[in-house]
Amino acid sequence: MSPLVSILLPAWNAEKTLGVALRSLLNQTFADFELLLLDDGSSDNTVGVALALDDSRIRVVQDGRRLGLAQRLNQGIELTRGRYIARMDADDVCFPERLAKQVAFLNAHEEVDLVGCRAVVFRNDGDVVGLLPFAGSHEALCARPWRGIPLPHPGWMGRREWFVRHRYLFPEVRRAEDQELLLRSYAQSQFACLDDVLLGYRQGFFDLRKTLLARRSLLAAQVKCFLARGQLPYALGAIGLTAARVAVDLLAALPRADKLYFVRMSEAASAEVVHTLLQSLDQG
């Protein structure tokens, strides 16, 4: 019998964080899932970490090649057997009720294609930064697309047919695969986000080069999408906002100024959220 949920977890040289991520999934209150570990040509013990857990729900996909996130996820979509597809990253953690709550929501709202969840941001040292921006309804999520659609990628769960229909774009888009997909599909889709913190989102140390590459990739995807729809004001808005964000990035690259990188995460996490996050991290 096929599982109800297929989880796509791409990984590349993730042996240090993968164990915690996998255990947070295996310890879910909802158990009817398969977990596809999509190894992207790792040279460390990433695959060994997964195999050591010896859980029949984990399916390791390994071919030794380095394909990149979008192509690897498209490969995973083809291999899924579940009615719903969930996303997860190798350095994040799920709260115990994440899958159960998202499955219940999709079962109750047949009009929704993709549902996300709130995310609490933490650093490698366990320091809790705060909550990512939130919007709940499709209209609120997509009200200002030039600012991005606030659905954290590792927290997605959607209907398999939606992923098959839209897929990820490559090789044109790198480092903004999720936002490009949302921008390209939102006019023909229904999104939602649960007002529950169900994901711990790991934020590494600030890297100016990687940040600027991601900004450039996202802006290119936004401008292409908006101009194709004749939405010139949206394209101009994206350009202006990106310029402002790059200015903050450059300031954040100065010595002892890296906290500027987290300005957008201004909402504090509750004591309960912090406690659940730390419990999930301790599972590793």
- What's the number of domains the chain is made of? 1
Q: Give percent above pLDDT 70 in the chain.
A: 95
Domain span at residue 272 reads 5-208+260-282
The per-residue pLDDT of the chain, averaged, comes to 92
- Dihedral through CA 49, CA 52, CA 57, CA 58, nearest 10? 30
Q: Give percent above pLDDT 90 in the chain.
A: 77
Give the pLDDT score at 210.
87
What's the CA gap between 222 and 218, in Å, rounded?
6
Residue with the bigger pLDDT between 261 and 99: it is 99
Residue 226 counted as domain residue: no
Cβ-proximal residues to 87 (8 Å cutoff; 6+ apart), any chain: 7, 8, 9, 73, 153, 154, 155, 156, 157
Residue 183 counted as domain residue: yes
Phi and psi angles of residue 5, each rounded to the nearest 5 degrees, phi first: -120, 135
Stretch (H or E) spanning 267: none
Residue 221 counted as domain residue: no
Examine the pLDDT at 263 and tell me if it is beyond 60. Answer: no
Residue 218 counted as domain residue: no
Give the pLDDT score at 260.
57
Residue 254 counted as domain residue: no
- Indicate which CATH number applies to the domain containing 54: 3.90.550.10
CB atoms within 10 A of CB 104: 13
Give the pLDDT score at 171.
66
Residue 223 counted as domain residue: no
Residue 213 counted as domain residue: no
